[in-house]
Each structure stands twice: as structure tokens, then as C-alpha cells.
Amino acid sequence: MEVKVIINQKKSIFDTEKTLLENIKTMGIEIPTLCYHEDISSIGVCKVCSVEVLGRGLMTSCDNYPEDGMEIITHSEEVEEFRKNRIEEILKDHSNDCLTCEKAMGDCELQNISYEYGVENRGDGTREKVAIDYSSDGFVRDMNKCIECQRCVKVCDEIQGIGVYCVKEDGSIGMTHDTLAETDCISCGQCVKICPVGALYEKIDLKTLNYDLKNKKKHIIVQMAPAVRNTLGEEFGITPGTDISKKMVAALKDLGFDKVFSTDFSADVTIMEEGTEFLDRFTNGGKLPMFTSCCPGWINYAEINHPEFLENLSSCKSPQQIFGALSKSYYSKVSGVKPSDIYSVSIMPCTAKKDENLRETMLDDENNKNVDMVITTRELAKLLRLNQIDLAVYKKEEEFDRLLGEGTGAARIFASTGGVMEAALRTVSDVLGETTHSLEYKEVRGLQGVRQASLILAGKEVNVAVINGIKNATPFLEAVKKGEVKADFVEVMACVGGCLNGGGAPAPDNMRVVAERRVGLYSSDEKSAFRKSHENLEVKKLYEDFLGKPGEHRSHHLLHTRYQSRNK
């Protein structure tokens, strides 16, 4: 329903299904916010979005709706003074360590809004200090910096369905247990990405990496995930979805990396292994449905909440860990660099990848980690800025290094929900001799919570499903147990939209931005010279020269893993 309003002395039409803030934003009028985020419900707790409604005084715009005849003023002296006072109140109770805060360098929304409103007051030191929670392998929780905006509570509950956080009676933010490690947290990092201040941040490794690159004692190589190539540019003002791969390679070389490789390569290897595993189960009566295993948030969730399905998980390692294993074996053998002299770094859109990398099952026979360090997309952006590299004006371009640098379009779409399934189907259908289906499996694309399709491949019915967001996993798993769902192969992504919306992706973002990223991602797939994983020439050479056949002894030893119940 539409109503007539007057805003800043101009007549306008507002949609009553949208909040005042949402309507005002469509007019191009900027309103400051701290607790608001368009992907979660609003409660107006920070109040800095307040506007003046004639005859009714000040009103929060994020959780109130337009009424016919409303007269609204967005930036009156009274409104601006109120906002400034609210920011001062928040800052008075805030930690005064901006110079060393991990959200510095433009990432802190509170710092940005304080600068905009000229607020100089800082914490008076009277706030009682609490211990910082370092128990999670993925991120840190520092409640000394919390502004009680409740974003973490809402994203964990409404979007992810985990419910780690809660609001206490006094309005402060608590948890279901004393530390993150004791909760059911899956390290997805959605709370980290949505936090407007430094109360939640990924475990930072870039300072160590920056030093190591300048004082190299080892051969430092790096891999970058498919999502990073279509999202990193946002940190430098580049349009979401833009493929900046060649710029990134050149920039990483300038930072001091000896070799720059692509996780797209190991994503293609993942399909070779996982596809082979599925075909074996499907044709020989193995455990079905088989679930994908590339998302560490999903693996954490399964081990904590549904250990009864662990035998259904593919034993294949994630592309990150497959790359790590191959870097210390295959790459070492071909390059002549000892495994102990190789320092393998990965750039991921995901905080759970830091968690995954510390698993005991991700060690080689000498108990060395497959991947030595994991940094997020945001950390890479900071590393580049620390070294005065601005990708918006950076002109250099280079190709990925060979041997572990080639990837197909199938690998690239791993970054989107449904992408792993589609990549697998492109290869599985070829193996089965399917000739009638198109290259693109649009049946598994989209942003619905659960997508199911029954495909006929070379005369065989294959029932597949895609779970988009971990909140949708439990209802689906319960339906499987009750026999209400028929499925042979299931993809699960913990973050809605997939890795393009990962907890380590550029921030702030929202699902509108994620949609733009998806357009760019699938465009990259369409432009790829090869669009099926088994067509990757470097992957073919890997199997011919080193691994043998997919799923055989060497590949199974290096590229597969196991899981264990963590049910509490």
C-alpha cells in the first residue's frame, strides 16, 4: 500500500510495507545507522537513524513505518544534535584503543560515523574490562568493544539458525555458554562480517605474513579461492562481481610471493575425487545420499549436530586443503623445493577455513600442516593497503603460475550456492555418457533455501538437492531420516549464497551485493576456455604424472579425510 508523505518539505509516496529508513534510502537520502542491517530485522536500539516527524517528535526510522500525511525531516538541527549525542553516549562506554583495533583502516562503522559527526569524546576508562575470548579457531570476541547493537544475535539466529548469542536483561550481549568453543558455533563468521565495530574479528595473520614476505626465509606460495577473484575489488571501490584475477596475481607478486596459484585448480581436483566417490556409491550401493564436504562450516555443523550423517559426507578434503596437500607433495617434487621449505598460504572468503586448517586430519605424514596460513579476503585487502597497493588504480596484470594455476569455469562457480553441485554434474554426466543435457545445470541454481531436482543422466535417475544456508540443513536432514525426501547427492553451503557471502568476504555487504557478485561469477564461468573439471589440462597432468586414477591409493591418502562426532 502506498501513502502520501512530505519529506524535507517535498511531497513523496512511501510504501507502507517498507520502513521509513528503507523508503528514505530509495530517495538517495543517507541516514546514519549502527544497529540496522537490511538482511536482519530491526529494533532501533542504537537510535542514530532517528528522524523528526512533525507533531510526534523524534522517531527511529529503521523500525517504524510510514503513515498517510506524515511530515518527516531527516536532517534538522534537533535531529543532528540528537544523533551526535547518541554517538557520544556510545563512545563514552567504548574501548579507547582505535590505533590498535583490528577494525581500524576504515572498517569500523562507529569510527566512521564519529568522524562524520565530529564526535571527539572517547571512553573514560570506567567500563569494567572483561576477558577477550580467543577460544574459537576462526575468530575473536572482544566484548570490551561491543556497542550492544544486537546484529550478531540476529544474524546467528535469523539467518544461520544457530543461536549462539543472546540479549541479556540489561541489554548486553551474552552467549549460550561462557566461551565460543563451548557453544555450537560453526565458525561461519557471519557475525564477524556484520559486526560494526571490533567486538568480533577474524584471527588476524596478516601482520605475521607481512613480516615474512619482507624477510623471507622460506619459499612462500599462495592460493586464492574462486570467490576472492570476484569480490576483492569491492574493498577498493570496484563494482561487485568484477573479475580482477590478473591484477591480484601481479599485486601478490609485488607483495613478495614466490608463486601465485589458484584454488580453482584444486576445486577441479575436488570434482575428480568427489565425482568418482559419488559414482562409486551410486552404482555400487554405497552410503547415500552423499553430501559435499568442501564447506567447513557445514562439516562443523554436521559433527556437532548430526553425527548420524558423518558416513554420508564425502571423504574428499576441501579445495583449500587439497591444494595444501599437493603443494607439499606434487609441487615440491616438480619444483625441487623441499616440503619443509615451502610456506603455503591461502586466501579465503571464510573464517571457518582458519578453523578447518587446524584439524588434526589436515596434517601430512610428518605432522606438518598442509596449509601454513589462512587469511580472509578482508585481510588481503588490508595487506595490500599496508603496502600502498590500490587495486582501483593498479595497472599491472599477470597470469597465475603454471602447474597449480589453471582452473575451469566449473571450479569458479564453486563460490556460489549450487556451484559445487553443478560442477560435479558437468563431470558426472560426461562419465555416464549423458549427451542430451545442456552444459549448464540451471536446475540447481538460485537462492532458495532448498532446491531439489530429479535428473535423467544417460538413462539413470539422479536425485540431487542444494541446501543454501545452514539454517535449512536440519529440516532437510530430518526429512531424509523420515524417508520424506529422496536424494542421492546433496550440496550444503553454510552461508546463504555460498562463499560469495562468506564470513571473510568484503564488508559491509548484503544480499543485494551478493546477487551482483553472482552475476560476475557466472559471467567468468561463461568466458572460461574450459568449463568442465575433467577438461583441466593441469589436472590431467597431475593424475598422469603423480596421482594415478581418482580415488586410488595415493590420491586417497593425500586428498581424503575423516570426521568425528562432536555432539554435546
Print burial letters for 63-76: b (CB count within 10 Å at least 16), e (below 16). Answer: bbbbeeebebbbee
Strand partners, 174: 166
Instruction: Give me the count of residues in the chain.
Output: 568
How many beta carbons lie within 10 A of that of residue 508, not counting itself?
Answer: 13
H runs (alpha helix) in 8-107: 20-26, 77-92
Give the helix/strand (H/E) hosting 479: helix 473-481
**Confidence grade of residue 434 (pLDDT, cut at 50, 70, 90):** confident
Distance CA 460, CA 272 (A): 20
Q: Report the pLDDT value the prediction gives residue 121, as an integer from 0 to 100.
A: 66
Can you list the domains of the chain with their CATH numbers?
2-90 (3.10.20.740), 93-203 (3.30.70.20), 208-559 (3.40.950.10)
Amino acid in position 173: I
60-78 mean pLDDT: 97
DSSP state string for 448-473: -SEEEEEEEETTEEEEEEEEESGGGH
**Confidence grade of residue 126 (pLDDT, cut at 50, 70, 90):** low
Higher pLDDT, 50 or 457: 50
Query: What are 521-544's pLDDT values in tens digits?
Result: 999 999 999 999 999 999 999 999
Q: Which residues contact 244 (CB under 8 A, 6 or more apart)?
A: 229, 232, 233, 238, 391
Eight-class DSSP state of 313: B
**Residue 127 above 80 pLDDT?**
no
459, 470 contact by CB (below 8 A): no
Give the three cell numbers for residue 129: 574490562
Q: Which residues contact 456 (CB under 8 A, 6 or more apart)?
A: 462
Query: What are 75-90's pLDDT values in tens digits?
Result: 999 999 999 999 999 9
How many beta carbons lie within 10 A of that of residue 500, not counting itself?
Answer: 29
Work out the percent of the chain whose per-residue pLDDT is above 70: 99
Q: Which residues contact 289 (CB under 8 A, 6 or more apart)?
A: 312, 463, 465, 480, 487, 488, 489, 490
**Confidence grade of residue 459 (pLDDT, cut at 50, 70, 90):** confident
134-138 mean pLDDT: 97
Q: Report the pLDDT value the prediction gives residue 206, as an integer from 0 to 100.
A: 87
Query: What are 230-241's pLDDT values in tens digits?
Result: 999 999 999 999
Query: What are 257-269's pLDDT values in tens digits?
Result: 999 999 999 999 9
Q: What is the largest CA-CA distance in the chain?
A: 79
Q: Report the pLDDT value the prediction gives residue 99, as an integer from 0 to 100.
A: 84
Q: Report the pLDDT value the prediction gives residue 123, as an integer from 0 to 100.
A: 66
DSSP state string for 374-426: EEEHHHHHHHHHHTT--TTT-----PPPSSS----HHHHGGGSTTHHHHHHHH
Sign of CA dihedral 418, 322, 213, 397: negative
**Residue 105 above 80 pLDDT?**
no
Give the three cell numbers for residue 66: 510510514
Local structure of 52: helix, strand or coil:
strand
Average pLDDT score over the chain? 95
Give the three cell numbers for residue 290: 552423499
**Residue 326 above 80 pLDDT?**
yes
**Residue 449 above 70 pLDDT?**
yes
The residue assigned the cell 566461551 is 179
Eight-class DSSP state of 15: E
404 backbone φψ class: left, alpha, beta (φ>0; ψ -120 to 50)? alpha
285-312 mean pLDDT: 97
Q: Report the pLDDT value the prediction gives residue 457, as an integer from 0 to 100.
A: 86
**Residue 106 above 80 pLDDT?**
no
Q: Report the pLDDT value the prediction gives residue 93, as an integer from 0 to 100.
A: 82
219-227 mean pLDDT: 98
**Confidence grade of residue 124 (pLDDT, cut at 50, 70, 90):** low
Instruction: Choose among 451, 444, 454, 437: nearest CA to 419.
Output: 444
| Main-chain phi, psi angles of 165, to 5 degrees | -100, 165
How many beta carbons lie within 10 A of that of residue 378, not counting itself?
Answer: 27
**Residue 365 above 90 pLDDT?**
no
Give the helix/strand (H/E) hosting 14: strand 10-15
Print burial letters for 419-444: b (CB count within 10 Å at least 16), e (below 16). Answer: bbbbbbbbbbbbebebeeeeebbebb
Work out the percent of the chain whose per-residue pLDDT is above 90: 90
Distance CA 28, CA 45 (A): 24
Query: What are 421-432's pLDDT values in tens digits?
Result: 999 999 999 999
Q: Report the pLDDT value the prediction gives residue 96, as an integer from 0 to 100.
A: 79
How many beta carbons lie within 10 A of that of residue 483, not counting itself?
Answer: 7
Give the three cell numbers for residue 340: 619443509
394, 274 contact by CB (below 8 A): no
28-34 mean pLDDT: 96
Q: Report the pLDDT value the prediction gives residue 275, as an integer from 0 to 100.
A: 96
Distance CA 103, CA 109 (A): 9
Distance CA 323, CA 321 (A): 5
**Residue 567 above 90 pLDDT?**
no
Query: What are 485-517's pLDDT values in tens digits?
Result: 999 999 999 999 999 999 999 999 999 999 999
Q: Report the pLDDT value the prediction gives residue 305, as an integer from 0 to 100.
A: 96
